[in-house]
């Protein structure tokens, strides 16, 4: 079954690299016009937009700053006129030891929540407002395996933030379905991205693989097709659901 996203306009946060880049490429390949959000590297984001074509444009925002999060949504609407879906993909994972400095722990906790949960919540709010007055739309939030099985002791904030994303998405699905808003959760396991490098350096690739039912670690390209499928409308009656993509390392 071929996914057709022709005519759709979709915002993807954190789309300049990793999972977000793979998602942007997949969506554009199915016919969507993609808003490529990035934080720092404008050149990398522009290369993604140039690669995928189809009227893709880049948009900068620091997701730690609520004002910039809100402005991001308004800037995309100003350029695109309409959005049909939003993919809240951007995220950070900051290591912080419980036994370490209290202020450092609190700082890492706050930044993690701001990017992973608060920014997603604000963008969901704006998307709901837009979708309910413009014929509906789809929200796809990228959570994590860590939301369900927990994470290592130094990534408590990451796991907690991704758990919040799950509750947020399920609540949206239940509350706004009759207004045409569908919401989905995709929960990857360990994925080969730049963000994962620190973990691999600390624990080793063999440690990561020992957890898997498959022989290889998940790549961003293994996740992107599911996002396109959810954006297509072919799975609307699965609104509120979680799709695990973790190489069989956690099944629930």
CATH number at residue 211: 3.40.50.720
Into how many domains does the chain fold?
Answer: 1
Task: Give the count of beta carbons closer than 10 Å to the beta carbon of residue 101.
Answer: 10
Q: Which two tokens stand for residue 87?
A: 């993919």
Contact 177, 154 (CB under 8 A): no
Q: CA–CA separation, 82 vs 136, rounded Å?
A: 11
Q: Is the pTM of this model over 0.85?
A: yes
Q: What is the mean pLDDT of residues 27-39?
A: 98
So what's the pLDDT on residue 216? 93
Q: Does any domain span residue 250?
A: no
Report the distance separating Cα 108 and Cα 25, nearest Å.
Answer: 31
Q: What percent of the chain has pLDDT over 70?
A: 100
1 falls within a domain:
no
Question: Is 14 within the bounds of a domain?
Answer: yes
pLDDT of residue 174 exceeding 80, the answer is yes
DSSP tag of 42: H
pLDDT tens per residue, range 77-114 = 999 999 999 999 999 999 998 999 999 999 999 999 99
C-alpha to C-alpha distance for 131 and 125, rounded to whole angstroms: 10
The answer as to whether 4 is a domain residue is: no
Residue 76 pLDDT? 98
Q: pLDDT, tens digit, for every residue of 120-171?
A: 999 999 999 999 999 999 999 999 999 999 998 999 999 999 999 999 999 9
Domain coverage including residue 166: 9-242
Judge contact between 120 and 127, C-beta under 8 A. no
Please report the pLDDT score of residue 168 as a whole number.
98
Name residue, tokens 């979680």: 242
Residue 248 forms part of a structural domain:
no
Residue 198: is its pLDDT beyond 90?
Answer: no
The 10 Å CB-count burial string (b at 16+, else e) for 147-166 is: bbbebeebbbbbbbbbbbbb
Per-residue pLDDT, 194: 83
Query: Which residues are marked as active site?
Result: 158
Q: Does residue 2 lie in a domain region?
A: no
Mean pLDDT of the chain: 96
Q: Is 38 inside a domain boundary? A: yes
| pLDDT at res. 203 | 80
Residue 126 lies in a domain: yes
């Amino acid at each position: 079954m071929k996914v057709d996203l022709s005519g759709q306009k979709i915002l993807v946060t954190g789309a300049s690299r990793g999972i977000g880049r793979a998602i942007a490429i997949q969506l554009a390949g199915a016919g969507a016009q993609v808003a490529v959000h990035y934080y720092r590297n404008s050149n990398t984001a522009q290369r993604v937009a140039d690669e995928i074509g189809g009227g893709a444009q880049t948009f900068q925002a620091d997701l730690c700053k609520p004002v910039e999060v809100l402005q991001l949504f308004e800037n995309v609407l100003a350029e695109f006129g309409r959005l049909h879906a939003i993919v809240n993909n951007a995220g950070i994972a900051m290591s912080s030891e419980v036994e370490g400095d209290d202020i450092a722990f609190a700082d890492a906790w706050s930044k993690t929540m701001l990017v992973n949960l608060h920014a997603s919540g604000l963008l969901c709010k704006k998307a709901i407002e837009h979708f309910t007055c413009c014929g509906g739309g789809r929200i796809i939030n990228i959570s994590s395996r860590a939301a369900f099985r927990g994470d290592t002791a130094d990534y408590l904030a990451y796991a907690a933030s991704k758990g919040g994303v799950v509750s947020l998405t399920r609540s949206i699905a239940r509350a706004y379905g009759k207004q045409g808003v569908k919401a989905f959760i995709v929960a990857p396991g360990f994925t080969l991205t730049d963000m994962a490098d620190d973990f691999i350096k600390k624990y080793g690739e063999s440690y990561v693989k020992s957890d898997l039912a498959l022989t290889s670690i998940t790549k961003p390209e293994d996740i992107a097709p599911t996002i396109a499928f959810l954006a297509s409308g072919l799975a609307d009656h699965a609104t509120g659901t979680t799709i695990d993509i973790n190489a069989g390392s956690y099944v629930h």
